[in-house]
Amino acid sequence: MIAGHGSRRNRAYPVDMNGPAAPDPLLALADVCVQCGLCLPVCPTYQVEAIEAESARGRIAMARALVLGTVAATEAGEDHLDHCLACRNCEEVCPSGVEYGALLVLARERQRARRQPGFTQRALEWLSARPRVLAAMLWCYRLAWPLLPRALRLLPRPPAARRGPALPRQGDVALFRGCVAGPYEAGLRDAVGRLCAAAGVVVAEPGGQGCCGALHAHAGDLAATAALGARNQRAFARAGTVLTLASGCHETLEASLRGVAATEDAQVFLAARVEALAFRPCRERVALHLPCTQRNGVHSVAATRALLARVPGLEVVSLDAGHGCCGAAGTQLATDPARAARFREPLLAQLHASGATRLLSANIGCRLHLANGTGMRVQHPLEFLAEQLS
Ligand code: SF4
Ligand code: SF4
């Protein structure tokens, strides 16, 4: 199996640290920080704002002080916590091994007890937990899209409903569908079905599955994440292996399915079977965007590159401009579109100067956000690879 570039695997979610003598779990995580500041240069929000409170070190210090009661919560402090993109670039460089992802989830859980999230966030959480309502909303959005002013086009126009057969309900491995990805990614799921078939594997799409709950967890609603996880546990009880297509969903689903089924990035799964895949030559230059959840969470970058390297003649240009995050950041693309666009701008400038004819990215949130800022074709790497099958 091809692993990613990162050797450390920090937790995206906190483990149960309760017990008679257990310290406050948030405090235990925060106390690992030695305040060296090595995370500051890689923090996208610190790069933009250049103030301590917009860095990992600043947020950790604030969360710790709130637990100890040495400071009171303020509106400005809540904003700094809101602004964190959960990219976990800080974790990757931290010499002390601070588990910032787990710490952020706990900090946001306590923030949620102090202050209710905004209407857009709550609406997105409600919709993502109800796939049929969400699909109906996106169908209406597709119809209305040509009439909408630019400011209301928070997402690209959804594709027309799928024609032709869906994936079977049973197979050798199962595919995780997700929430917003459901209506947007029918073509991608078909593409994965073709790639797996070429590798001799039947991929199925079990019914009854739903949202992974990542956007609820990142907004501090761990109870909703657990309820959604329980639904997926039932849906995948007999799956064996579940393939994910969105790096932003992978870790949450993996945590939910622990002990029930193995969770694997579809790119890692296919990279391990790459010898069975044959691709046509392609004299094209494509741009590759590597989502922070893929780089810092799933660690499947090497698998993506290994698969793309099998296409004869293909030129891959890596997008590395900007601040290390495209700005989509879970729901930020909808809750604060102006801020999200600010992080996206340098990446789009590099994309348009690159001479690439399409953009590849392995996370649905990043793809929707990037596609909304460019007229260029934006695809998951596996959708592109399925087109090149010989
Ligand atoms: S790099 Fe780690 S230890 Fe250093 S300030 Fe950042 S979080 Fe704290
Ligand atoms: S997760 Fe990203 S935005 Fe948040 S503190 Fe760490 S590096 Fe900064």
Q: Indicate the top mutation candidate among 49, 90, 251, 342 to test ligand 2's pocket, ranked by most ligand atoms within 8 A of CB.
A: 90
Banded pLDDT at 226 (limits 50, 70, 90) = very high
For residue 147, give the 3-state DSSP assignment: helix
Structure tokens at 118: 């905004």
Atom 1 of ligand 1, nearest CA residue: 94
Residue 63 and residue 107 in one domain: yes
Q: pLDDT for 275-292, tens place per residue?
A: 999 999 999 999 999 999
Helix (H) or strand (E) holding 16: none
The answer to whether residue 220 scores a pLDDT higher than 70 is yes
Share of the chain above pLDDT 70, in %: 94
Number of domains in the chain: 3
Are β-strands 285-289 and 262-265 bridged in parallel, bridged antiparallel, or unpaired? unpaired
What is the Cα–Cα distance from 167 to 164, expressed in whole angstroms? 10
Q: Is residue 18 situated within a structural domain?
A: no
Would you say residue 91 lies in a domain?
Answer: yes
* pLDDT tens-digit readout, 21-36: 568 999 999 999 999 9
Residue 372 domain boundaries: 279-387
Residue in the block written with tokens 């932003």: 248
Same domain membership, residue 132 and residue 98:
no
pLDDT value of residue 267: 98
Q: Are residues 169 and 283 in the same domain?
A: no
Mean pLDDT of 208-230: 96
Region 310-314: what's the mean pLDDT?
Answer: 97
Predicted pLDDT of residue 7: 43
Q: What is the pLDDT of residues 138-153, one digit of tens each?
A: 999 999 999 999 889 9
Q: What is the spatial distance between Cα 134 and Cα 139, in angstroms, rounded to a whole number?
A: 9
Q: Which residue's alpha carbon is at the smallest distance from atom 6 of ligand 1?
A: 39
Report the SS3 class of residue 204.
strand
- What is the chain's Cα-based Rg? 20
* Ligand nearest, relative to CA of residue 218: 2
Let me know: does 60 contact 33? Beta carbons within 8 Å: yes
> Could you tell me which residue, 180 or 169, shows the higher pLDDT?
180
Percent of the chain with pLDDT over 90: 89
Answer whether residue 160 is part of any domain.
Answer: yes
Model pLDDT for residues 90-103, shown as the tens digit of each residue: 999 999 999 999 99
> What average pLDDT does this structure show over 205-220?
95
Q: Is it the case that residue 14 has pLDDT exceeding 80?
A: no
Domain identity same for 285 and 267: no
CA 153 vs CA 119, 143, 338, 366, 371: distances in Å: 18, 12, 12, 15, 11
Closest ligand 2 atom to Cα of 91: 6
Backbone angles phi, psi at 254, to 5 degrees: -60, -45
Domain end point (choices 221, 253, 271): 271
pLDDT at 197 over 50: yes
Q: How far apart are CA 190 and CA 186, in angstroms?
A: 6
CA of 379 to the centre of ligand 2 (A): 26
The CATH code of the domain that includes 42 is 1.10.1060.10
DSSP E strands in 171-244: the ranges are 173-175, 203-204, 241-244
Q: For 169-180, b where at least 16 C-beta lie within 10 A, e where not — what string?
A: eebebbbbbbbb
Residue 163 has pLDDT above 70, yes or no: no
- Does residue 167 sit in the same domain as residue 250? yes
Mean pLDDT score across all residues of the chain: 93
Tell me how many helices (H) and strands (E) the chain has. Answer: 20, 8
For the cut 60, the answer to whether the pLDDT of residue 324 exceeds it is yes
d(CA 382, CA 160): 20
Q: List phi, psi (to 5°) of 358.
A: -155, 165
CATH number at residue 364: 3.40.50
Whether 256 and 285 map to the same domain: the answer is no
Ligand nearest to the CA of 98: 1
How many Å apart are CA 227 and CA 126, to the nearest integer?
13
Per-residue pLDDT reduced to its tens digit, 333-344: 999 999 999 999
pLDDT at residue 171, rounded to an integer: 87
CA distances from 83 to 58, 59, 219 (A): 12, 10, 12
Residue 209 in any domain: the answer is: yes
> Does residue 105 register a pLDDT over 90?
yes
Query: What whole-number distance in Å separates Cα of residue 260 and Cα of residue 274?
Result: 27
Q: Is ligand 2 within 6 A of the CB of residue 100?
A: yes
Task: Kindly report the pTM of this predicted structure.
Answer: 0.91
Predicted confidence (pLDDT) per residue in 36-75, tens digit:
999 999 999 999 999 999 999 999 999 999 999 999 999 9
Q: Which ligand is nearest to the CA of 35?
A: 1
Ligand 2 centroid to 44 CA: how many Å? Answer: 7
Same structural domain, 312 and 228? no
* Strand-pair category, 203-204 with 241-244: unpaired
Assess whether 107 and 132 both reside in one domain. no
Burial code (b: 16+ CB inside 10 Å, e: under 16) for 97-118 equals: ebbbbbbbbbbbbbbbeeeebe
